[in-house]
């Protein structure tokens, strides 16, 4: 059956930072087509709360406490996960932070913090998960959560844009070096989605809300579950010949220069 192309039964997915927002939506999508779920966080309370929320969805998620920027901790956690749960077939590098600070006010520490979580973290996780995928010889999937900021700049998000631009190129390099092991590395580039991460620039009459609605051909913010199809595609056999691609789920923003406010 053609649907089997998208079936993840028997596969184990590690979705980093999937205790809320887009990561949780993606994780629910992958489990919805049969994947076993592993998540991580650095905060025990957030991890415990998320495990409970997944259970309410009927999902038995395994949770691990570790920091994706801590190479030794990440390497050890990956080993433990593969011993206690199962080999990781699908890695979604979702854990990330953003700091919205005007460039001329940003300190190097702020910049380094964002690069560390949003770019070095995916490097570290991909490095040690891919090593085991290669050793098993059964291929695998790596999905990096890129961003509109992988392509475009915006006021106050210089560190985040640098990290997400770098993550796009890391994705292409992972594809280059891992494709021969039947490991496909790709990215998902969300447009603007209605999540806690964007609440500060979306609600309470913030002018950015109207800007995004006008700038997005679909004329609205995305809803987290609208990323599930892209994640299932890139995590499944359906994308076995897709390498180094960033799939933008953005309501059309990247397709257009935008339109004057007096045009429909
Ligand atoms: C911002 C937003 C964006 C989105 C997303 C877009 O401040 O511009 O937070 O970064 O969250 O990353 O793809």
Ligand 1 pocket residues where CB is under 6 Å: 98, 100, 147-149, 154, 157, 160, 190-192, 197-198, 201
Helix boundaries (H) for 66-141: 71-84, 108-115, 121-136
Q: Which residue has the tokens 């996960």?
A: 81
Write out the two tokens for 26. 């993606």
Phi-psi label, residue 219: left if phi above 0, alpha if psi -120 to 50, beta otherwise: left
Residues contacting 78, CB < 8 A, separation 6+: 14, 88, 125, 128, 129, 132
Among 128, 160, 192, 248, the active-site one is 160
**Distance, CA 179 to ligand 1 centroid (Å)?**
29
* Helix (H) or strand (E) run with residue 230 in it: helix 228-235
The residue whose CA has the least distance to atom 2 of ligand 1 is 198
The closest alpha carbon to 144, from 58, 16, 9, 264, belongs to 16
Residues 94, 30: contact at Cβ < 8 Å?
no
**First-residue to last-residue Cα distance in the chain:** 43
Half-sphere exposure of 228 (CA within 13 A, CB side): 15
Pairwise CA distance, residues 125 & 120, whole Å: 9
Residue 264 has pLDDT above 90, yes or no: no
**What does the DSSP assignment read for 215-257?**
HSTT-SPBPGGGGHHHHHHHHSGGGTT--S-EEEESTTGGG--
Pairing mode, strands 183-190 and 62-65: unpaired
Write out the two tokens for 152. 């475009």
Pairwise CA distance, residues 229 & 235, whole Å: 10
192 catalytic? Reply is no
Q: Tens digit of pLDDT for each residue in 26-60?
A: 999 999 999 999 999 999 999 999 999 999 999 99
* Overall pTM > 0.95: yes
Q: Tens digit of pLDDT for each residue in 222-263?
A: 999 999 999 999 999 999 999 999 999 999 999 999 988 788
Q: Tens digit of pLDDT for each residue in 96-139?
A: 999 999 999 999 999 999 999 999 999 999 999 999 999 999 99
The closest alpha carbon to 168, from 246, 249, 90, belongs to 246
Of all residues in the chain, the percent with pLDDT exceeding 70 is: 100
């Amino acid at each position: 059956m053609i649907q089997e192309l998208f079936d993840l039964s028997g596969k184990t997915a590690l979705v980093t930072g999937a205790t809320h927002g887009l990561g949780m939506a993606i994780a629910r999508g992958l489990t919805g087509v049969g994947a076993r779920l592993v998540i991580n966080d650095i905060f025990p309370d957030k991890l415990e709360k998320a495990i409970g929320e997944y259970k309410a969805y009927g999902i038995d998620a395994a949770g691990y406490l570790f920091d994706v920027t801590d190479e030794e901790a990440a390497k050890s956690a990956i080993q433990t996960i593969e011993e206690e749960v199962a080999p990781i077939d699908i890695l979604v590098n979702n854990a990330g932070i953003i700091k919205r600070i005007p460039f001329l006010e940003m300190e190097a520490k702020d910049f380094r913090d964002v690069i560390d979580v949003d770019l070095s973290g995916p490097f570290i996780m991909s490095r040690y998960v891919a090593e085991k995928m290669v050793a098993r010889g059964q291929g695998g999937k790596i999905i990096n959560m890129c961003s509109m900021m992988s392509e475009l700049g915006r006021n106050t998000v210089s560190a985040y844009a640098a990290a997400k631009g770098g993550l796009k190129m890391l994705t292409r390099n992972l594809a280059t070096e891992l494709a021969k092991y039947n490991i496909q590395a790709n990215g998902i580039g969300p447009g603007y989605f209605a999540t806690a991460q964007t609440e500060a620039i979306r609600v309470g009459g913030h002018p950015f809300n109207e800007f995004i609605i006008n700038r997005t051909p679909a004329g609205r913010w995305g809803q987290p579950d609208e990323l599930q199809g892209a994640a299932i595609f890139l995590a499944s056999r359906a994308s076995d010949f897709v390498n180094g691609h960033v799939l933008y789920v953005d309501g059309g923003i990247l397709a257009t220069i935008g339109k004057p406010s007096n045009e429909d």
